[in-house]
Amino acid sequence: MVAQHPQDSRRRGLFNSIKFFVLCHGLLQLAQLLVSGYLKSSISTIERRYGFSSQKSGVLAAFNEVGNTVLIVFVSFFGSRVHRPRFIGGGALVASMAALIMAMPHFLSGHYEYTDGVSTNKDNSSGLCQLSHVLSTSESNQTCLQQESAGQRGVFPILLLGQLLLGIGTVPIQPFGISYIDDYASKRNSPLYLGILLAATSIGPAFGFMMGSFVLRFYVDFDKLPNGE
Residue in 223, 63, 94 with CA at minimum distance from that of residue 156: 63
Note the pLDDT of residue 153.
65
From first to last of the 229 residues of the chain, give the pLDDT tens digit: 444 444 444 456 777 888 999 999 999 999 988 988 888 888 888 888 888 888 888 888 888 888 778 788 777 777 677 888 888 999 999 999 999 998 888 887 777 766 544 444 444 444 455 544 444 444 444 444 444 544 556 888 899 999 999 988 888 888 888 888 988 888 888 899 999 988 988 898 888 899 888 888 887 776 666 666 6
176 contacts: CB under 8 Å, gap ≥ 6: 75, 79, 84, 85, 87, 88
Supply the range of the domain harboring residue 171: 18-111+156-215
Q: Is 103 within a domain?
A: yes
Q: Is 144 within a domain?
A: no
Contact 156, 60 (CB under 8 A): yes
Overall number of domains in the chain: 1
Q: Is 29 within a domain?
A: yes
Q: The dihedral of CA 7, 13, 15, 16: what is its sign?
A: positive
Note the pLDDT of residue 93.
94
Q: Is 36 within a domain?
A: yes
Q: Is 135 within a domain?
A: no
Q: Is 202 within a domain?
A: yes
CATH number, domain with residue 194 = 1.20.1250.20
Q: Is 140 within a domain?
A: no
Q: Is 147 within a domain?
A: no
